[in-house]
Structures are given as C-alpha cells and as structure tokens.
C-alpha cells in the first residue's frame, strides 16, 4: 500500500480560466461535497476506500473546522444544475495552509477542471498573502502526479532547493 506524502508549493497570482463559473465553498455544501469526493473515488486519511456515509461525515467535519479553519475565500466549487462538478478545499492549521481535497466528478476528470480549481485557490491564497501551501497525497497516485506536474515538490525537495539557492 502506498504511503501518504506531503507536497509543498509557493502560492502565485495567475490568470483564471474556468470552463464553468466558480463560487466559494460554503458551509452548506456538506452533503454535496461528500457525494462529490465519494463519486471521485478519492481516499481519505485513514480510510483508503471510504463509504458514502463516511465521506459525507468527513465533509461536514471539514466544513465545521475539525481539520483546521476553512479558508472559504480560497476554497472553490464548480457547480452545475445537477450538483457539484468539482471542489478544492483549503484549510489553515496554526501556520500551515493545506489543500485538504481537490475533487472532480469522474465523468469530468482530465478536462482542465482540476487545473482551474487549483489556479483559483493558488491565486486566492497569494492575494490573501499566504506564501506557501501544502497538500497530502498518496505516493504514486494520480493526485500525486497531478500536483507534482503543477509545481508541487516533496518537503525535502523544497528544503534542498531553498538551501542550494542560498549557497
């Protein structure tokens, strides 16, 4: 079984190009967020194959602050008439800003929705003056590849890069 790893990246301002309008994640989105994460087939920490009920419980716990303060101005959803198509959830615990989840309905994956949500979050984080963000992913998963392809690095790689820049 793969292990969880933490990836880091500096936030940045950028051009937002979303195929559907984005809106901020709301504390009222618990059920829809849980359904989306479950439908996307994503693992949760300590639950590699969560049930729908467990995923909805996780979504409500996130929205109620059990995983850190929800940065609602940096967390976004893409919504259609039939519900949430995608979401990115960003929280802050102490001095750490973390993307808890980036989920897109399986029928819409590989269509730039993930990239649009990530760009929106990175832009909002930079505007809010958060210089760094991290995400925990399963090593060798599609999410690990997505984030590393978009500039995220393992914590030790970030430390090595910053050390070599100061030599």
pLDDT in tens, 61-91: 999 999 999 999 999 999 888 889 999 999 9
Domain with 138 in it: what CATH number?
3.40.630.30
Burial of 114 (0-12, 13-18, 19+ CB in 10 A): buried
The angle subtended at Cα 103 by Cα 98 and Cα 105, nearest 5°, is: 175
Q: What is the pLDDT of residues 108-137, one digit of tens each?
A: 877 788 989 999 999 999 999 999 999 998
pLDDT, residue 100, reads 93
Q: What is the pLDDT of residues 137-151, one digit of tens each?
A: 888 888 888 999 988
pLDDT, residue 64, reads 95
Structural domain including 44 reads 4-165
Tell me: pLDDT of 159 over 50.
no
Instruction: Tally the domains of the chain.
Output: 1
| 3-state class (DSSP) for residue 85 | strand
């Amino acid at each position: 079984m793969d292990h969880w790893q933490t990836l880091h990246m500096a936030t940045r301002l950028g051009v937002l190009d979303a195929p559907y309008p984005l809106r901020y994640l709301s504390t009222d989105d618990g059920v829809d967020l849980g359904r989306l994460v479950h439908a996307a087939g994503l693992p949760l920490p300590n639950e590699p194959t969560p049930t729908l009920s467990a995923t909805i419980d996780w979504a409500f716990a996130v929205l109620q602050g059990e995983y850190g303060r929800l940065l609602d101005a940096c967390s976004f959803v893409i919504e259609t008439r039939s519900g949430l198509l995608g979401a990115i959830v960003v929280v802050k615990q102490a001095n750490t800003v973390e993307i808890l989840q980036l989920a897109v309905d399986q029928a819409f994956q590989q269509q730039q929705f993930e990239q649009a949500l990530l760009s929106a979050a990175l832009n909002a984080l930079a505007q809010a003056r958060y210089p760094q963000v991290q995400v925990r992913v399963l090593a060798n998963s599609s999410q690990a590849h997505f984030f590393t392809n978009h500039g995220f690095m393992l914590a030790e790689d970030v430390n090595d890069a910053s050390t070599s820049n100061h030599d």
